[in-house]
Amino acid sequence: MQHPRRRIRRPVALAATTALSLTLLASASTTLPGPAPASAGPVAAAPGSAQLGPCRITTTLGVQMSEGLPTAPGYVRSTGQVRALNLMIDFPDSPGDGTAMSRFREFFPQTADWFRISSYGRLRYAAEAPIPDWLRMPKAFSAYGIERGSPYEPGYRSLVEDIVKAADRRVDFSAYDLVNILVTPNAGPSALDTVLSVTFSGNDEAPYADGVPLANTSFVYSRQDDGSGSFAETGYRVLPHENGHVFGLPDLYTSDGGGTVGHWDIMSEDWGANNDLLGWHKWKLGWLDNDQISCVSGTGTGDYSLTPLAVAGGPKLAFVPLSGTSGYAVEVRSKGGNDEAVCEQGVLVYRVESDVDTGHGPVTVSDSEHASGGCTRRANVHAELSDAPYRPGETFTDRANGIRINVLDEDANGTYRVRITRN
């Protein structure tokens, strides 16, 4: 069975800061100073939770899509109703494959449902397609020079300007929070060969339409079809991954694929069977309340109860800060909700670092079963980390930092009790 080639998607993610321009990675352009929209993750940033202060590791300036809290300004808000404009485009040398609305239906309502489930109903994703037909671009696809990781100059700027010209009479761009450009899948190479899907997020240098910059725009090309027969159920998942960037989330895969996080977050692997977001991301996005978070910042030993992320309500995350920019997150993952691919339930332990760029390993999952080969046989799931969670009686230890996490037991409702010790 063919697996997708290792993906190196380069989202152009530029988190604007007030009156400050940051020149970031080579695939990024420079952010223009100006008024910044409200940041994502309002709950994680809410005042009145001083006890969680040491666990809100800081957003690092100059780091592309920092994992810190709060999410930097410039991205799309991640709670409440979000209106998503969807435009289906084709080219003279690549006329639309099927109808434009059939392309739309490859992603909806699945993407909206995915966000509803993951956010426990806190994000209401309203997907709109006001133009039900293909928007024909004036130039051939090849004429735009679109390549993997291309920045907003010059090919994308020309493409976006042509999209605006084609749609502007029928669309009020200022009415939407984000834009999805769903390209006919016969334009460009297969996603198994070259991944062109990309997101430009927080980018105020984007072309303008109706007085607003198209600063949070995702482009999806080709199809994520590996031939396993699962495309109808899993092919849409490239879009919630790309939209994760417009909410400020980084890529968790690295140059060697899903090697540091595996299939435990859709920002790591968006192909194959379904999976959810990490608890840290849910807190960052405002989908978990502060009272669902335990901050383990003092020395000593304490016991903590954690309910599975797949179940709404209850305590969800214990965080052990190591510094102002890093710490360990502890959560429970079970088979349910968006986590249908889970083959080993238990306590997931991972390190979060806010001073590491997107695509360079800002999150590292601890594997409780080193070199086991994993427990999954599902197509396109990073097998080695699939059995990473710790079970009752097992212990995670970081001797260098004096951290020990013991999984004590699991009750009949799937709640785990963990003992965390800091020396």
| Nearest to 194, CA basis, from 241, 147, 150, 152 | 147
DSSP tag of 174: G
| Nearest to 100, CA basis, from 198, 185, 209 | 185
pLDDT-flagged residues of the chain (< 70)? 1-49, 204, 255-258
Give residues with Cβ within 8 angstroms of 232, minimum separation 6. none
Give me the CATH code for the 12-36+76-246 domain, please. 3.40.390
pTM of the full predicted structure?
A: 0.90
Q: What's residue 256's pLDDT?
A: 61
pLDDT tens digit sequence for 260-308 = 999 999 999 887 788 999 999 999 999 999 999 999 999 999 999 999 9
Positive or negative: CA dihedral 155, 238, 389, 423? positive
How far is the CA of 320 from the CAs of 18, 292, 302, 419, in angstroms?
30, 14, 12, 12
β-sheet bridge partners, residue 330? 318, 349
CA distance 395 to 407: 6
Tokens in use for 182?
């769903």
Residue recorded with tokens 């410039």 = 74
Do 45 and 38 contact (CB within 8 A), yes or no? no
Domain limits, the chain: 12-36+76-246, 279-422
